[in-house]
Each structure stands twice: as structure tokens, then as C-alpha cells.
Structure 1
Amino acid sequence: MENKTKFTTTDEYMATLPIESVLRAREMREIIRKAVPAATEVISYNMPAFKLDKVLVWFAGYKAHVGFYPGGTAIAVFQDDLTAYKTSKGAIQFPLDKPLPVSLINKIVKYRIKEMATPSAVKKVKSQK
């Protein structure tokens, strides 16, 4: 999503999404919310994110996909499950014309919770910022 607006809430962000991605982005938000109900919704890097002590995951809506940003370690751990999706070092693209892989997203979020609970993982994430 290319927007110069500085968002302060997820709802503000969602209001600016391309119409094609609004429903999928809302669905992604709910999947993450249910996977980690104790998390707080925040805006980080001008994208919606879910945070416990630190940000666990981010997501963003685009014209042809929903981006999911769980970090590079999670993508490496789940690489065999992600072969059907376009990925990069820290991002996964879920196309809008296919259902979101709810079970996989849940597994990745749960992995991130465990990863963030490990002190060495927190140091690694801090050094990436």
C-alpha cells in the first residue's frame, strides 16, 4: 500500500485500503486477533501490527494480495508450508483470489509468540530495527 498518511490506528489504515483487499485484510486481522487475544493492535512501520511486549506480526493490504510480515526466522521455519505463496526475507504474500490459510497463519503467530519469549530472539529483532 503506497500512502503518505501517517496512521495512528488500524481502523484508519483499513479505511484507505484498495476495495479489492478490504475483506481479506479484515479477515487477516480477525485470524491474528483470535490466535493471540492478549495482543494489542498497534501501528508499526505505518502498518497494522499485533504486539505483546514486542511486535509479533504485521499485515498490510494491497491491490492483489495481503502481505503478512512475521519476520525472516518464521519464514525460514515454515518454508515448506509456504511454497504456494510468494515470499521474501520477511514477508509472505497471500493472493486475494485464494482463501487465507488460517491454520498456517495461526501456526506462524504461535511460533512468533514462542520466538519472542526467547531472549536471544528479542536481541536479534532489536538489532534488525
Structure 2
Amino acid sequence: MVFSSHEEYFKSLSPVIQALMLSIQQKVETLLPEVTRCISYQMPAFRANQHVFFYFAAFRKHIGIYPPVTKDLALINVLQPYRGKKGNLSFPLDQPLPLELIGQVVMAFYREYEAGTRKR
């Protein structure tokens, strides 16, 4: 299925997963009200200054967040239980969603892109 908006993507999910995805969307928009919603790689994403900097997607057993955090070593340490082999984050659906931690990830990505230290 091809999605053209966050809303379309969310409608394809169960109500429980929809609520989790909406909570992530709200967290991003609360922290960074100037960013724009978009779909990239068929995932909900956010764009700032013409560059997509944050992607999130629902899977059968987890919510994934992309790309990997690469610069903030303290944050990488805290994220260790959620990091996959390539550093992408995977939050299991059978555990509470750590929204404050996800907010820290969002801000780390945003700062990296704004500072030009992350590949665009």
C-alpha cells in the first residue's frame, strides 16, 4: 500500500498501535512545532529545512525509529537496549513506549542535521 500522509498510514494500523504512533507524532510536533509531516520510504517522517531527519514505523512486534543516533555518545549508551545491529531503534510493543527518550532522540537528530554533522 502506498501512503500519502501520516493519517493514511495510521489508519492502516490497529487502534492500539495508532495511539502509540500518534503519541510519537505529537511528541515531535510539541518539541519542534516548525517541522513538517511527510511520508518517506513509505514511513511517517518529519522534515526540517527541506531535509527529512526523523522516520518512524510500526511493525508486527515493535515500532522502529530511523536513522541511528551516531553523534551523542551518552544518548547512544542509554539507547543500547533498543539498538539493532545497524543502530536503528526498535521499541517492543509489549513494553511501555519511552516517549521522553524518543523525544531526546528526535532532538539529537534535529541538532545533527541543523549543525550539518549528519549526512543529508
TM-score, normalised by the number of residues in structure 1: 0.79
Deviations 1:60-94 (A, max 9, x none): 11121111113352586632111222424252111
Q: Which residue of 1 aligns with 2:89?
A: 92
Structure 2 residue runs without a partner (length 5+): none
Q: Which residue of 2 aligns with 1:32?
A: 28
Aligned partner (choices 96, 100, 108) of residue 111 of structure 1: 108
Do the aligned partners of 1:20 and 1:63 also contact (CA within 8 Å) in 2?
no
Q: Which residue of 1 aligns with 2:41?
A: 45
Structure 1 residue runs without a partner (length 5+): none
Q: Which residue of 1 aligns with 2:65?
A: 68
Q: Distance in 2 between matches of 1:75 and 1:44?
A: 24
Aligned partner (choices 5, 8, 15) of residue 9 of structure 1: 5
Q: 1:19 to 1:103 in 2, by over 3 A?
A: closer
Runs of 4+ in structure 1 deviating by more than 3 angstroms, as ranges, are 74-77
Deviations 1:84-123 (A, max 9, x none): 22424252111112222122111111111211112342xx
Q: Distance in 1 between matches of 2:56 and 2:67?
A: 9
Moved more, 76-85 or 94-103: 76-85
- What is the alpha-carbon root mean square deviation over aligned residues? 2.1
**Is the partner of 1:103 in helix, strand or coil?**
helix
Q: 1:103 to 1:20 in 2, by over 3 A?
A: closer
Do the aligned partners of 2:3 and 2:42 also contact (CA within 8 Å) in 1?
yes
Alignment: residue pair count: 119
Q: Distance in 2 between matches of 1:82 and 1:15?
A: 29
